Amino acid sequence: MARAQFSPNQRRLSYGMLRMRNPMTRVLVTTLVFAAASLAADKIQVQMNNRDGKPAGTVTISPAKSGVSLKGKITGLTPGTHAFHIHQNPACVAPDFTSAGPHYNPTKKKHGHQNPEGHHVGDLNNITADAKGVAKINATVADATLTDQGNSLFANGGTALVIHAKADDGKTDPAGAAGDRVACGVTKK
Ligand SMILES: [Cu+2]
Ligand SMILES: [Zn+2]
């Protein structure tokens, strides 16, 4: 049987594999693979549901230049202003959504951007529903991440996006006097 001849390309390939055996190279390659995995947080689509468990819009979460971007649309709201928060548990059990727990607060602050002892990482600006009950979402959470580091939205196995019946006053601890939870969506990898 004829002996297999290696082409120059195959030779280069096996040379590369030999070099991989070098422990330093292996450490470097492993580190790069892990770094790429933690940087490459994909877009997450969050399905929002109302108190009847029916669809109430979607929100897409993606990495922003600094922090995390939330974009989407909430439907079926009463026209007017509504509080919008990230809550700490990845659980949205209708009808009251208390399963979502309090605001996501990994830095142990008080509620509200106007609170001198604030704010929770999960505190977002109010959203406004039009006459048809539709509210557009376009927010950036500067102090959150989608990686395994920092204030990750996947800490605790995930978090939840919650819309309230009333507006957030931006300062009343712990929840901005925003009233009932009217829509909820789980944020999970
Ligand atoms: Cu809330
Ligand atoms: Zn809060």
Asked if 82 is an active-site residue, the reply is no
Same structural domain for residues 62 and 30? no
- For the segment 97-117, the average pLDDT, to the nearest whole number, is 97
- 187 CA to centre of ligand 1 in angstroms: 14
Q: Can you give the CATH number for the domain in which 129 is found? A: 2.60.40.200
Q: Is 85 a catalytic residue?
A: yes
Statement to judge: residues 51 and 34 lie in one domain = no
**E strand residue ranges, 103-166:** 127-129, 135-141, 159-164
In a domain, 1, yes or no: no
Structure confidence at residue 27 as a pLDDT band (50, 70, 90): low
Q: Compute, in angstroms, the gap from residue 162 CA to the centroid of ligand 2.
A: 11
Cβ-based neighbour number of residue 103 at 10 Å: 24
DSSP 3-state helix, strand, coil percentages of the chain (rounded to 5)?
20, 30, 50
Q: Is the pLDDT of residue 105 over 60?
A: yes
Asked if residue 2 belongs to a domain, the reply is no
Report the predicted TM-score, pTM, of the whole model to 2 decimal places: 0.79
In this structure, are 32 and 104 located in the same domain?
Answer: no
Q: Is residue 155 part of a domain?
A: yes
Q: Do 34 and 106 share a domain, yes or no? A: no
Range of the domain at 165: 44-187
Residue 26 has phi, psi (to 5 degrees) of -65, -45
Query: What confidence tier does 38 reach under pLDDT thresholds 50, 70, 90?
Result: very low
Query: Rounded to an integer, what distance in angstroms lies between the CA atom of residue 179 and that of residue 176?
Result: 8
Active site residue 113: no
Domain count, the chain: 2
Same domain, 121 and 32: no
103 as an active site residue: the answer is: yes
- d(CA 172, CA 174) in angstroms, rounded, equals 6
Distance (Å, rounded) from C-alpha 185 to C-alpha 46?
Answer: 6
